[in-house]
A and B are shown apart, each in its own frame.
Chain A
Amino acid sequence: MSNIFLNINNISKSYGDIQALKDINFSVDEGELFGLIGPDGAGKTTLIRILITMLLPSTGDASINGLDVVKDFKKLRHLIGYMPGTFSLYEDLTVEENLKFFATIFNAKIKDNYHLIKDIYQQIEPFKDRRAGNLSGGMKQKLALSCALIHKPDILFLDEPTTGIDAVSRVELWDMLKKLKEQNLTIIVSTPYMDEAELCDKVAFMQKGEVMEINTPHQIVEDYDTPIYAIKGDSFYNLLLALRKMELTRTAFPFGESIHLTTYEEFNENELNKIICDYSNQKTETKRIKANIEDCFMAKMLKNK
C-alpha cells in the first residue's frame, strides 16, 4: 500500500505539572488527509507545534519523511507548510506583498508553484492590492492558505482552519483541501467540529491530551454498536428533559430538529415510541437510525469522563 510519511512515537508533552499530551502514537500515510478532531484543550495545537518543530516533545519522537522533528528541524523547515490557528500574516502588507514575501523567504517563485494555489488565489486576486488587514475572515484564510502553499511543501499543517469563518467558506476550504490531496500532498488538519471528521481520510479523536481512537470515519461509524434512535416531539425541551429522566436512557442529546437517544437495549421503534409518548405526555415520533460520526465521538467522550 502507501508509504508512511509521518510517524509519531510515544510523544508526551508537559508544561510543569500540566500534561498536555500523553503518549501519542500514530502514523499518517503519504497523500493522506488526516484529521485531528477534539474539543478545545485536547492538545491538538501542541501536537501540531511539535510536528512543525516549534515545540520540543518532553518524551518520545516523531519523524516526517524520515527526518526527525528535533534533530533535523532545519531540513524539515524547508518541507513544511503551516497555517496557524490565528491569522498570522502581515496586516499592513497587501495580499500580493504577503504572498511574495512568503514565497521569497522560502526561496520559491510564485510563478513556479502558481498551479498549486491557482484555484484558491484566483478568488482573492481581484483584491491583491488590498491590505490583508482589510480582508474578510474567509478571504484571510484563503490568503493564509496560499502563503502556506506557495513554496510547494511536502506536508501541510492546518491548525483549526475553519474556526471562526462562515459556513460557505468552510465548505470551500474543505473542497480546496480535497483538491490539494489529489496532488499527493499530505495534509494534517485539526478541528473542533466533529462533522468535519467525515471529510477526512482518517481521523484521530483527541481528548485531554490523549488519542481516543484512530480510524477512517467510515469504520468509526461501522464500529458503533449502541442502539440509537432519533426522536421528534411537539415540545422539544420538555421531551429532552423527559428522556433524560427515563430509566431506559443511556444518553439523550439534541441534534438538529430531533433528539438522538441511546439506550441500554434494543427496542422496536413503535414500542419505544409508545413508551416515550406515554412518559412525556406528548405526540412523538421515533426512528431507529444509523449513528453518524458525531454520535460516535459523543459516546467516546462520555466514556472517557
Chain B
Amino acid sequence: MKAFWAFIKKEYYHIIRDPRSLLILIGMPIVQVILFGFAITNEIVDAKISILDKSKDQLTQEISNKILSTKYFLLSEYLESAKQIEGSFRKGKIKLALVFEENFAEKFNRKERPSIQIITDATDPNTAATLTNYINKILLDYQNEISISTIAPKGIEVITRMEYNPQLKGVYLFVPGTIVIILMLISAMMTSISIAREKEKGTMEVLLVSPLKPFMIIAGKVIPYIALSLINAFTILLLGVFVFGLPIRGDYFLLLFEITLFIITSLSLGIFISTLVKTQQEALLISLMGLMLPTIILSGFIYPIESMPRILQYISHVIPAKWFLIMIRNIMIKGVEISYILKETLILLGMTLVLMVLSVKKFKIRLE
C-alpha cells in the first residue's frame, strides 16, 4: 500500500512539474467553454438588410418598421431599383434584401394577396435560413395582429412550446458537450500518453522488474487523472451555471456519479490504448484520430445522430460519449432521476468493464 502511495505521489510530481501541460490541462476547459459560449451561437443579431419599396405606402412602411425594430435587423439602405440588389450582395454590404411589389396596400385592401420578395445571401445557408425564418415569423405576427382587428381568422393556429429550453439557448448544448470532450481528452489521451512515456523512456522496464503488481502500476497512473478530470468537470459546470446561466435541475449526486463513471470509462479506454502502443506519438495519434474526432462528430454534441446515415448511427452506439451526453443532458436540463437513464448508465458500466478486462489481459508483465 505504501508503494501505491509512492506511485501516486510520483505521478502527481510528473503532472505538477510540467507547467506547460498543466496550463493546457487546466486552461483548456475554461477557454473551450468561453469560446463555445460566446463564439458559437445560432442566434443572429444586427444583420444588415436593404429594402426596395416599390409601393411606398403606409402598409409597407409599417411592415418595414416592424422588421427593423427587432434586434435582428439593421437597415443598410433603401434601394431605388432592382438592379442595385445584386451589387449590394456582391459588395457583402447586406445579408438580406426585401422587395415590396407595387401598389402593395391597394392590393391588400382588395384582398388580392400582395407579395413581399425575400432575397438572401445563401453562401452561408444556415444564416440565410435563420434570417428568412425571422422575417416570416415577424410577417405572420403582423398579419395576425391586423386580421384580429378586421375579421375573424380562418385556418389552423400552431402553438409551439420549446420544452426545457424555451429560449433555445446554445449554452444548453455546448456545456454538456464541452464536459464530454474535455473529460475524454484528459482521461483517455493523457493516461495513454503517460503510460506510453514510461515505455518509451525505459522506466517501465524498471517498474516491471520491481515487485509492483501491474494492477498497481495502472491504478497509480490513473488516480491523479481522475482528480484532475473532476476538477475540470467542476470548472466547466461552474462556468456554465454562473456565466451562462445554465440550470442544473437534476440531483447533484447523480450528476457527480455519472461524471465519475464516464471519467473511469475514458481512463480505461486510455489504458487500453496504451497497451497497444509503444511510443507517446502513437498514443497521441490514436487518441486524437480514434477518439477525439468520433467523439466530437458522432456523439451528438454538434450534429444530431438521428439525421446521420444508418451506418454512422450504428457506429455511434460504441462511442461512450454518446451515452454520457444523453445522461448529462437529461440530468442537468430535464432533471430526470436515475430510473430514466438506467440503460445508459448500464451501457457505460459494461463498456468500462470490458475495457478493463481487455487492458489487464493485454498488459504485458514482460517486454514482449
List the A side residues contacting B203 at CB < 8 Å.
Answer: 88-90
Interface check A68, CB cutoff 8 A: no
CA separation between A52 and B7, bound complex, in Å?
Answer: 22
Count how many chain A residues have C-beta atoms less than 8 Å from C-beta atoms of the other chain. Answer: 31
Within the complex, what minimum Cβ distance (angstroms) separates B195 from chain A?
14
- Is A84 within 8 A of B206, CB to CB? yes
Residues A92 and B202 in contact in the complex (CB < 8 Å), given A54-B366, A55-B368, A106-B210:
no
Count how many chain B residues have C-beta atoms less than 8 Å from C-beta atoms of the other chain. Answer: 25
Interface check A214, CB cutoff 8 A: no
CA separation between A53 and B205, bound complex, in Å?
Answer: 10
CA separation between A106 and B216, bound complex, in Å?
Answer: 13
Mask for A22-61, Cβ within 8 A of B = 1, else 0? 0000000000000000000000000001001111100000
Interface check A105, CB cutoff 8 A: yes
- Is B10 within 8 A of A101, CB to CB? yes
- Is A105 within 8 A of B6, CB to CB? yes
Residues A100 and B6 in contact in the complex (CB < 8 Å), given A84-B205, A84-B206, A92-B13:
yes
Interface check B289, CB cutoff 8 A: no
Interface check A86, CB cutoff 8 A: yes
Interface check A74, CB cutoff 8 A: yes
Residues A53 and B210 in contact in the complex (CB < 8 Å), given A90-B14, A104-B3:
no
Can you identify 18 A-B contacts, CB atoms within 8 angstroms?
A54-B205, A54-B208, A54-B209, A55-B367, A56-B366, A77-B208, A77-B209, A77-B210, A78-B211, A88-B201, A88-B203, A88-B206, A92-B14, A92-B17, A93-B13, A105-B3, A105-B7, A105-B210
Residues on B lying within 8 angstroms of A by beta carbon are 2-3, 6-7, 9-10, 13-14, 17-18, 201-203, 205-212, 365-368
Residues on A lying within 8 angstroms of B by beta carbon are 49, 52-56, 73-74, 77-78, 80, 82, 84, 86-93, 97, 100-102, 104-107, 131, 147
Having A54-B205, A104-B6, one finds 20 other A-B pairs with CB under 8 Å, namely: A53-B209, A54-B208, A55-B366, A56-B366, A77-B211, A82-B205, A88-B206, A89-B203, A90-B13, A90-B203, A100-B6, A101-B6, A101-B9, A101-B10, A104-B3, A105-B7, A106-B3, A107-B3, A107-B211, A131-B17
